[in-house]
A and B are shown apart, each in its own frame.
Chain A
């Protein structure tokens, strides 16, 4: 466990209490029903947790990246589905945080401070791993842009009040023809399409967004025209840290449940055999290594050093560890594991290898960074 400040420890404890009170008692039921959980939005509003990434000067809690990771780990510990809602509600505003002008930040963050939810919409039916293949268009028309297209797999899409949406402003320019826009809920022509039912994180809301001649003011453009893909990639660098934290929480929960089960199965001074002990030790090694990788990454970000490659590594590692540890836990617990909360953790863990860039995409990012020539006197990586 990394050394934490008193404040970080307190925030972590508060997050744990929030999870124990609102998430853990409801997780199984909402998973079974596959239904969204509006009560959690109310609780989150009360605790202002959706504002944790918003700087204090805009009315947010202004947590640093490490503190955010500590909180998100607790969310994942409680439930991958509800954790996804909360994490997506935070990372939905990352683009504005990164490149928004002051007026945009005021406007967007104010909506969140007042209790609204945010969503980030990049993926389309034809643009998944190949994010640059977006077909949604944004055409300048007087003081407006007019958006047309379909987004899919959008977390919180049905409940958000503000969105960041990626669209092509210049189809002739490929990757450099994509731009990012703030789109508010309720704009004429902006509707929510079909809801997706998933293997896991079943209580989180995953929907299509339909844009038909949606007019937004030109002031809703983030950065400049053509900056969209760059903004999206920077946004994902941040988002990956939060998703890694969720995955880590899922893995830690599976490990804890496994330990509880083994303590019950081998009461008092009885010890499980070496086979079980070693498997348990391996789970512990994986979880701890994943946590250190994540904490290293967020500390880099907090210190102002580059962290894109490390973010991808932490996301891939935490996601793979969540999958491995939950499957191992189910296997060690046999029939009990298969019919318990751990089977749900295993289903939830699977998405951690898929969303926010599949772990194959993370590996492309990592390999590209490793194979590309080292930056001149690039002390950034080593100094950390």
Chain B
């Protein structure tokens, strides 16, 4: 196993840092303030080949591997995790369609997603704890030549901005295993995006419930095989949790670096607070968490790239950062004291963004089950 990025991967990582400095740093504060979907920046992501980074060159992608992908997500997150999150959700949609889609679906959507002409969203969660169970579960009822979708998908990221949804519905309300993925255009009759939810962080990456009120879709809207939705969702969510771990580490690293710079110039008790052991310990532990998390997530990304099983490792990474993600910010804010609580400084945004990354998801207990299942 190689623990270092290759020269090519390093170049890609550097290009993402350069991009972040040029396009994200100037807008991050404003984006956090307005929460408006940053359309222009998403176009720039496409122009710089980031939206197709993980996809093959024949569909306009860059053909880079998953290790490069997570390195880019981390690099962008150091400047603006909301944009990294938009890109990650875009990738969940484009990867699913590229991987399981029919030729028609690929032709219709993948290039447009890569070029940023279309925004994608991945609609898996529901108000019930498991998709397919619960009063608002999205149900696909067979009709002639297609399906009628009725129900609500909850907490969909990129909702509203998206032109295409990869939405999961049960074809048999009595059987959660009948989960099936559908590719649904946003403009279709009966699809309504509710008002964006008031999220604490990752502002600019909208989150909303999406209502399907008898949305008619043709048979060709089915992604992959009927009843293969669980497999698709499991794999995409596992990939996403590795990318979200990279997002978490990017935010954490940015916070540690900011707090360290602050500590060097903030003088109390006649010397920079960076010289105090209490401060050094806070910074050292946070930096250690970032370093070890990065090793774990990159190692998992390498498994993905090598085509090996990675679901258990992805769950470990997710569980680890569910425990430590917020702690990194809780501790680094401490270094900046009262200033670290003031929204004139970047740490409050990073605090809200890291919570958004590690906590805005299904309840935090499930990755542990995945890990336990691998040994027990």
- Which chain A residues have a beta carbon within 8 Å of chain B's beta carbons? 32, 123, 126-130, 133, 152-153, 196-200, 265, 273, 275-276, 279, 323, 327, 330-335, 337-339, 343-344, 346-347, 350-351, 353-355, 358-360, 363-364
CA distance A275 to B200 in the complex (A): 26
Chain A residues with CB under 8 Å of B198's CB are: 32, 339
CA distance A351 to B339 in the complex (A): 11
Give the contacting residue for A338; candidates B340, B344, B348, B355; CB below 8 A: B355
Give the contacting residue for A265; candidates B129, B352, B356; CB below 8 A: B129
Main secondary structure, interface of A, reads helix
10 more A-B residue pairs beyond the given contacts A128-B268, A335-B207, with a C-beta to C-beta distance below 8 A: A130-B268, A153-B338, A199-B352, A330-B359, A334-B363, A334-B364, A335-B361, A337-B359, A339-B207, A343-B199
Q: Does B27 belong to the interface (CB within 8 Å)?
A: no
The answer to whether B343 touches A197, judged by C-beta atoms less than 8 angstroms apart, is: yes
CA distance A27 to B129 in the complex (A): 29
Mask: chain B, 322-348; 1 = CB below 8 Å from A; 0 = not: 100010001001100110111110001
The answer to whether B363 touches A333, judged by C-beta atoms less than 8 angstroms apart, is: yes
CA distance A333 to B200 in the complex (A): 14
A235 to chain B, nearest CB (A): 17
Q: Does B147 belong to the interface (CB within 8 Å)?
A: no
**What residue of chain B has the Cβ atom nearest to residue A266's Cβ?**
B129
Give the contacting residue for B154; candidates A327, A330, A335, A351; CB below 8 A: A335
Q: Given A123-B338, A197-B343, A354-B340, are A331 and B269 neighbors across the interface (CB < 8 Å)? A: no
**What residue of chain A has the Cβ atom nearest to residue B282's Cβ?**
A360
The answer to whether B356 touches A338, judged by C-beta atoms less than 8 angstroms apart, is: yes
- Which chain B residues have a beta carbon within 8 Å of chain A's beta carbons? 125, 129, 154-155, 197-200, 207, 267-270, 273, 278-279, 322, 326, 330, 333-334, 337-338, 340-344, 348, 351-352, 355-356, 358-365, 368-369
Interface centre among B197, B200, B330, B334 (most CB of A within 10 A): B200
The answer to whether A335 touches B155, judged by C-beta atoms less than 8 angstroms apart, is: yes
Q: Given A130-B268, A198-B343, A339-B207, are A359 and B334 neighbors across the interface (CB < 8 Å)? A: yes
The answer to whether B326 touches A200, judged by C-beta atoms less than 8 angstroms apart, is: no
B356 to chain A, nearest CB (A): 7
A336 to chain B, nearest CB (A): 8
Give the contacting residue for A197; candidates B267, B342, B360; CB below 8 A: B342
Chain A residues with CB under 8 Å of B155's CB are: 335, 339
The 5 closest A-B pairs by CB, nearest first: A199-B348, A130-B268, A335-B155, A334-B363, A331-B364
The answer to whether A197 touches B344, judged by C-beta atoms less than 8 angstroms apart, is: yes
A–B pairs, 14, beta carbons within 8 Å = A123-B338, A129-B337, A196-B342, A273-B365, A331-B322, A331-B326, A334-B363, A335-B362, A343-B200, A343-B355, A347-B351, A350-B333, A350-B351, A354-B338
Chain A residues with CB under 8 Å of B334's CB are: 353-354, 358-360
B101 to chain A, nearest CB (A): 27
**What residue of chain A has the Cβ atom nearest to residue B271's Cβ?**
A130
B280 to chain A, nearest CB (A): 12
Q: Given A335-B361, A338-B355, are A130 and B269 neighbors across the interface (CB < 8 Å)? A: yes
Chain B residues with CB under 8 Å of A152's CB are: 338
Chain A residues with CB under 8 Å of B268's CB are: 127-130, 133
The answer to whether B199 touches A198, judged by C-beta atoms less than 8 angstroms apart, is: no
CA distance A351 to B368 in the complex (A): 31
The answer to whether A334 touches B361, judged by C-beta atoms less than 8 angstroms apart, is: yes
CA distance A127 to B199 in the complex (A): 34
B209 to chain A, nearest CB (A): 10
The answer to whether A339 touches B330, judged by C-beta atoms less than 8 angstroms apart, is: no
CA distance A275 to B270 in the complex (A): 48
A278 to chain B, nearest CB (A): 10
CA distance A198 to B359 in the complex (A): 21
CA distance A354 to B345 in the complex (A): 15
Chain A residues with CB under 8 Å of B369's CB are: 275
**What residue of chain B has the Cβ atom nearest to residue A331's Cβ?**
B364
The answer to whether A334 touches B359, judged by C-beta atoms less than 8 angstroms apart, is: yes
Q: Given A153-B338, A358-B334, are A334 and B355 neighbors across the interface (CB < 8 Å)? A: no
CA distance A346 to B344 in the complex (A): 19
CA distance A246 to B330 in the complex (A): 18
Give the contacting residue for A196; candidates B269, B322, B344, B355; CB below 8 A: B344
Q: Given A265-B129, A338-B356, are A198 and B341 neighbors across the interface (CB < 8 Å)? A: yes
Q: Given A126-B267, A128-B338, A339-B207, are A330 and B355 neighbors across the interface (CB < 8 Å)? A: yes
Interface centre among B338, B344, B352, B356 (most CB of A within 10 A): B338
A282 to chain B, nearest CB (A): 13
Give the contacting residue for A327; candidates B273, B330, B361; CB below 8 A: B330
Chain B residues with CB under 8 Å of A198's CB are: 341-343, 348
CA distance A360 to B365 in the complex (A): 31
CA distance A305 to B308 in the complex (A): 65
The answer to whether A355 touches B359, judged by C-beta atoms less than 8 angstroms apart, is: no
Chain B residues with CB under 8 Å of A275's CB are: 365, 368-369
Chain A residues with CB under 8 Å of B344's CB are: 196-197
**What residue of chain A has the Cβ atom nearest to residue B154's Cβ?**
A335
Chain A residues with CB under 8 Å of B342's CB are: 196-199
Q: Given A198-B348, A339-B197, are A331 and B341 neighbors across the interface (CB < 8 Å)? A: no
CA distance A273 to B363 in the complex (A): 12
Give the contacting residue for A335; candidates B333, B360, B365; CB below 8 A: B360
Chain A residues with CB under 8 Å of B267's CB are: 126
**What residue of chain A has the Cβ atom nearest to residue B269's Cβ?**
A130
